[in-house]
Chain A
């Protein structure tokens, strides 16, 4: 053997090692979230839903701008806003537009009877309210649910028992009755001042929704944590002396992203429907335009003025169905057992 050969071998070996390392990097890159997102993009239903939701989100977000651009009004704030006697006949039906007059571009979805607001303006602002309430409720209930679920799952003994009891207790509490009871209390406490009533109503509603909505996610998270806490990486962290909160939020929580994302995406439509339902029952928002409130007022017009009823109904339906389908697709995307 000559010395030159050994050097060549060295070089070749380095090349092979170098190639292997690069190949490894390409294979080991993806986290579960990235895998799921990748699968989601290829799901046609999910993409369609995302487009629709984005559209609705933009409509809701820019509702006030759209309203002033089209010069349509959902209240009497602006001096340009028409009063009831300006646009309504003596029997409370609109003088302009459906149902008795021909279509007009000034009011594409017609005018509301008795009060004279533009239906499109109310729809857009109502959409905004629904999205706002649902988002706030989802965010807060997720935070509360995840935190309590983590603590309940990780702690042993009486903490776990107590929290589990709480979760079960709230799960069995009748939601509607609770909302019904809370509404007049808020009215009495904040009814005097209009601006505080407005905020109090919204926060009260979000509070009620969160109060009755955090349990689902808490239970889910608790179950997951129970199985995770016996794993080696957790035990290793405990042995090293990592503080509990760090274990919870840095070690365990990242493993729960999948169920949390799924639960969140299914909670949103539930809250939209809940807000519409409560407003419909009259225990929701009175100072904010709301789809549920419009539906409630439009019920009696189903045969004489159907557009007035169907516009908000279809909007709520589209929003809830799109969110639900997206949530389903997200759940499927995260589940390694489903194959597309």
Chain B
């Protein structure tokens, strides 16, 4: 999952301020009343409800009102097949486009629950998870009155295979669906055969190339929703106005500037176990400056009372915003880490020394993170709340989020590499990036390394980082799980890629060990109940035996809403608001 801005550098430790903060001591100046509950962060693994039915009613909620949304980032693409950024994904999935399944917020448990959406339940697998059957609900209509048919779902699935037409979209269909490695999608491979889907009446059977126990989670993606085949769904048009099956449909849309969502009269609440339609409209404005957003939300005057922003509050305004009581904090499954280049830094002691030397608390402060809120101390790769995660310490004796330059120097002496050169990228035209660079440089020098930071610009950062030939030996990275499972962590972050062809993907450590590859494949064929623990064990094994990367912080969000907005909680699987619960209290 990508963050709001199209630069993963945002999540990257030491680049820009947005995610994760560090624990550690403080001068005791503030009550940490809004500290996040870290144990349940991103926890939905055990929360499913296949029986849930619509309509949804929120006690005391009133219909009406316009919710204004302001944010700094624009929308990348609103085509459901390609939407893969936090903001676009979240808006489509919760308000506009329905899919096979969906996530809903459970207020009692303060957690997300997986429930059916267009399917009548959470799907029925065969024994080894190579086939999944979903039964489509009857009576669901698009915004234009047409009925949603199983063929539409099949076409949506078919479309999700087209990587050429939708290069930025999620690629789970290609990885798991039958024929995924060959079939190129309806636009790029019109003569190809799409073999993965079979329709029997209202039943849709999806065939997999390999076991895919997480299909119900993949089913929450807008890419797994219905799309009518034909000229209506031409990608050039569709990204500007996808057909709505949810409670809201597109009104006016100016990409990068504004979007208005209005009521969809064809949406029937009785068919929807998760969504609501309380506000009349959502009026969204993008490209608003962060400082201005904070100003508007803190003052809460006029229109601001019915406004929300899913941007994080700036560190300088955190104190003031928290006092207003209109700050929603929560975690989300982001791990920011430093990834030493596994091909270049081959001695594990040097990587461990880096983990000892890195100035976690200082980097958090310099980067504008708020301890306990937008930054949580990190240990394992999988963040808290991921099923099967265990609490272990990758580097023996190292207190998470603490820095000990002496210990680092000891390790370097042991390895005979005192003065080892470390080079990493930073963005010269971003003041926060420069400050973090200064902090890290001072800490590494103290620990006995020779720091050699490499200057680049915000615009070039991602490109250089994704190039395996860039002359750096450490890359900073961040990854958000697409759903709570180890399957969305290890294959993308630590699975082998075609490095000789210049492909790094999200594997910034350029780590590749056959033993681990085999283990990943093995776990994916295990019975569903055994998988979480197996992933947890793999996490511990990789981190303690190999340490290809070390966590700098886990993610957290601190988002703002006006005084007349009710039901604003944090969806901790993605770090966005619980749109389905929002209503306006005029």
Contacts and interface: CB of A to CB of B under 8 A. Distances in A.
Contacts of B443: 83
A115 B438 contact: yes
Interface stretch (B178-186, B249-257, B335-343, B447-455): B447-455
Nearest to A183: B429
Nearest to A113: B316
A304 interface: yes
Contacts of A305: 316
Contacts, number: 118
B370 A91 contact: yes
Nearest to B432: A114
B333 interface: no
Interface residues of A, number: 40
Contacts of A95: 27, 29
Contacts of B367: 114
Given A76-B438, A300-B291, A92 B428 contact: no
Contacts of B438: 75-76, 115
A293 interface: yes
Contact of B315 (A83, A92, A100, A190): A92
B83 interface: no
A93 interface: yes
A187 B428 contact: yes
B315 A85 contact: no
A227 interface: no
B30 A90 contact: yes
A184 B464 CA distance: 14
Interface string A284-328: 001000000100110111001100000000000000000000000
Contacts of A286: 428-429, 431, 434, 455
A114 B428 contact: no
A194 interface: yes
Interface stretch (B96-104, B317-325, B528-536): B317-325
Contacts of A197: 428, 455
B372 interface: yes
Contact of B320 (A89, A113, A304): A304
Interface string B358-383: 01011001111011100000000000
A217 B499 CA distance: 56
Given A83-B362, A90-B371, A92-B365, A304 B30 contact: no
Contact of A84 (B29, B361, B431): B361
Contacts of B455: 187, 190-192, 194, 197, 286
A252 interface: no
A81 B456 CA distance: 27
A44 to B, nearest CB: 41
Interface in B394-450: 428-432, 434-435, 438-439, 441-443
B479 to A, nearest CB: 25
Contacts of A8: none
Interface in A158-206: 183-184, 187-188, 190-194, 197
Nearest to B367: A114
A283 interface: yes
Contacts of A283: 429
A27 B442 CA distance: 66
Contacts of A89: 26-27, 29-30
Contacts of A115: 365-366, 435, 438-439
Nearest to A85: B361
Contact of A114 (B24, B320, B365): B365
Contact of A83 (B431, B439, B471): B439
Interface in A71-116: 75-77, 81, 83-85, 88-93, 95, 100, 113-116
Most B C-beta atoms less than 10 A away, residue of A93, A191, A197: A191
Give the 8 A-B CB pairs with smallest separation, nearest first. Answer: A191-B455, A76-B442, A90-B371, A90-B26, A84-B365, A85-B361, A92-B315, A84-B362
Interface of B: 24, 26-27, 29-30, 291, 294, 314-320, 359, 361-362, 365-368, 370-372, 428-432, 434-435, 438-439, 441-443, 452-457, 459-460, 471
